[in-house]
Chains A and B, each alone.
Chain A
Amino acid sequence: MIKLEPEILQAVEKPARYTGHELNAVHKDWDEVDCHFALAMADTYEVGMSNLGLKILYEVLNNRQDTACERVYAPWTDMEAIMRERSIPLFSLESFTEIKKFDFLGFTLQYEMIYSNILNMLDLAGIPIWTKDRSDVDPFIVGGGPTVYNTEPIADFFDFFILGEGEEVISEVAKTFVKWKREGKPGGRKGFLKEVAKLEGIYVPSFYNVKYNEKGYFSSIEPKEPEARAKIYKRVIKDLDSVHFVEKPVMPYIGIVHDRIMLELFRGCTRGCRFCQAGTSYRPIRERSREYLRELARKLVDSSGYNEMSLTSLSSADYSCLGELVDDLFADFEGEKVSFSLPSLRIDSFSIDLAHKMQQVRKSGLTFAPEAGTQRLRDVINKGVTEENLMTAVEAAFKQGWKQVKLYFMMGLPTETDEDIVGIARLAEKVARKYKEVKGKWGVTVTISVSCFVPKPHTPFQWFGQLPKDEFERRQRLLKDSITERAVKFHYHDARVSVLEGAISRGDRRISQVIYQAWKDGAKFDGWTDLFKEDVWHEAFRKCGIDMKEYSERTRDFDEPLPWEHTTPGVSKDFLKREWNKAVAEQLTEDCRRGKCSGCGVCPSLKVDIVDWKRKEGEVKANV
């Protein structure tokens, strides 16, 4: 058991990050269970504690009698320095046990820029960084989460990955482990990996041979063990009402990033935006029932004491019974001073009316995502939104009293021209002028937040070469100079980070060396702008003899094998190609939840179906 002296805790920022004992944390007797699972996020306590996936898996694992699940997050740099100086190993927040003593260490892979932190945590735990160097005394290192659809850049650091939704499979993993352990651990470490590889959705990277061609490009990946599948499909929950959701969230003593109840309405979004990886990787739409959500909301308010609830999903306003659900919740919590919010709004007046109802008097600000500045480019990305839609929505918002609007855009999308960039400024200015028209005076703030487009695996833009950093920066300046209205404020992302993300997210196994080198040379918390060390990363690519631009800027051929195709969310390559061609032709594809099936391949390959309560009531029968 690790005990931190007061002088350590007095010396670090936010010491309660490291002291545990939160309400609803689960403490089990170490010797009473067979499986010890540490769930980790390679980011700070405040970020890690806000992750919904980890909250769910924590309860699923702890609901098993044979398993104890504990939490661990990345220590901040001040704490890390002390831990290294005094040889204090990384520890869990429940029993303060050394992480190395656990059977599993599972990382949620939220975004590429935390990879260096994963290595850092392994090192702090005293666990060998490379899979091949681990022995029977080390935990199995497991990864799962959004970036799992191209794990090749970190494949050599992990024993196995879990693809897709974890509620069922994580329990199967624990069960498989307990059985293997009780049988006397036949075959040692590899013996277990062979067993776990038999489960659907499990990828054991060390069970494959990777080949590259004479140009140095990835050419093939093939199983070398009989248990390894040639292609691994993600796991998907067919009926979200049938699996466990968070009921007793661990309650932090200090403020965290999302310090409120998160009620997940549904999974998936089939609006079909062509840049969006979440849009392809969480298919199909599966809604929770209104009754179950109501029941969950009650349990969560009672067990947490929170007075704020966020109705979360990829596009919450698309929940088919949202109006009715909000009425239910208002009725159920009348007099309890609970407030509700929607994290994302659709660009229409239904959303505005709903937001108005939910926020009542407090008008904090509205956020919309037109994503591109011209209709042409919005058609390219299949963002089915017109300028008229946006103007109608903001007009409704201004009439209801909102004075702050935030608009999200991307730059560097395929086919983008300077006209599209200037279009962002023009659109924002029109929104600002709409306020003057509605209110007869100035007084609005329109904030445009512009990120740099990063092409992602398993999207129709997966072949597209990302813009060079300098070009992103030129377009940022162009946009800045194009804004003439004072009411428009401009924020943009750091292009240095985006191009690195671009290289890693479509990387192959050789990128592991670069990540290792960068970490060795001091890269960590790369997602934190003030800690990002651009030169360390560039130097790491150079030292490894790898051209970063080959990964970020090179446009791939359609028939070129891609290093991520064996780990798939189920969308077919044909569908992605069709969508690319339609993008270039500026043609739209409709949402399949009510409209025509776009033939993405997810439903048949995963044997799953859309769950849409309005559709079930017989309004629409989509083709299958």
Chain B
Amino acid sequence: MYKYRAQLTKGDEIRYISHLDYAGVMERAIRRAKLPAAYTEGFNPHLKMSFASPLSLGVTSDAEYMDFELTKPLCQPEIFDKLSAALPPGIRLIKLKPVKEPKPCEGKKHKALMAEVEQGIYEVVAPLTGDWDEAVKAVAAYNAASEVNYHRVTPKKTRDIEVKQYMLEPVKIGMSGDWVKLTMNISITQTGSIKPVEILELLHNEYGLPVALGRALINRSKLMGQGKDLIDLV
């Protein structure tokens, strides 16, 4: 088997499809590309593919990662071109690399893609509804706080999460036109993380960030492990 890692986008056109639907769309794209894809064994064979950290509904991304396997080693440009041509609107292939499996003497195999993820960088834009100074102050106050709790309600359970443990850097604030631009560098761990939309909610509700929450747009710009983009870990 020959494993490859792809860095893909999730564009504005498809920001409202779920992680599972995104995987289904990629499976059909690989089929349309006529790549010699590897399938799982069993009664219900499906493509051998795996994804990194799932993206929330409504969030776009420049850093979706997918590992997949082929039964024949094709050259990188051929796979890149065939797959690119088969992608639907809203998905672009940015980079593609073969995953070099370590030799048996070198010890363990590559970690699962999901397990390599440690860090995500997100950009959040939202229309400013008040003073710029007020916005800067809100972000500064949030950054200065030693502990911030987010009350997460899901259909199954409700719990409080301490947010600051996941902040790898202070939230940065900038302006573009009438829109506030926030950059969040968030730690993603095996046991949990915090979503950028939750940080935005806290900034708005608890720290008075004057933005139109309902019109905010979030984009994942990077997904990293060991301080590097996931595509550079292979």
Contacts and interface: CB of A to CB of B under 8 A. Distances in A.
B122 to A, nearest CB: 15
Interface in A350-375: 360-362
Given A21-B90, A305-B29, A253 B44 contact: no
A6 B57 CA distance: 11
B28 A15 contact: no
B16 A19 contact: yes
Given A361-B43, A362-B44, A6 B17 contact: no
A16 B27 CA distance: 18
A253 B21 contact: yes
A174 B25 CA distance: 34
A548 B31 CA distance: 53
Contacts of A337: 39, 45
Contact of B17 (A5, A254, A303, A336): A254
Contacts, number: 72
Interface stretch (B73-81, B137-145, B200-208, B212-220): B212-220
A21 B13 CA distance: 6
B89 A9 contact: no
B88 interface: yes
Given A5-B215, A6-B217, A307-B31, A253 B17 contact: yes
Instruction: Pick the most buried of A16, A303, A362: most chain B CB atoms within 10 A of its CB.
Output: A16
Contacts of B16: 9, 15-16, 19
A251 B58 contact: no
Nearest to B20: A255
Contacts of A6: 58, 214-217
Nearest to B18: A254
B16 to A, nearest CB: 4
Interface string B6-43: 00000001111110010011011111101000010001
Interface residues on B, range: 20 to 34
B42 to A, nearest CB: 9
Contacts of B213: 7
Nearest to B25: A253
Interface residues of A, number: 28
A499 B78 CA distance: 61
A353 to B, nearest CB: 19
A359 to B, nearest CB: 9
A304 interface: yes
A624 interface: no
B217 A16 contact: no
Contacts of B21: 16, 253-255
A302 interface: yes
A251 B88 CA distance: 9
Interface in A21-68: 21-23
B86 interface: yes
Nearest to B217: A6
Given A251-B28, A337-B39, 8 more contacts: A6-B214, A16-B21, A22-B88, A253-B17, A303-B32, A304-B28, A305-B27, A336-B31
28 contacts: A5-B214, A6-B215, A6-B216, A7-B214, A9-B16, A10-B57, A15-B16, A15-B57, A16-B14, A16-B16, A19-B15, A19-B16, A20-B13, A21-B14, A21-B88, A22-B88, A23-B88, A251-B28, A253-B21, A254-B17, A255-B21, A255-B24, A301-B31, A302-B34, A305-B32, A305-B86, A306-B31, A362-B43
Interface of A: 5-7, 9-10, 15-16, 19-23, 251, 253-255, 301-307, 336-337, 360-362
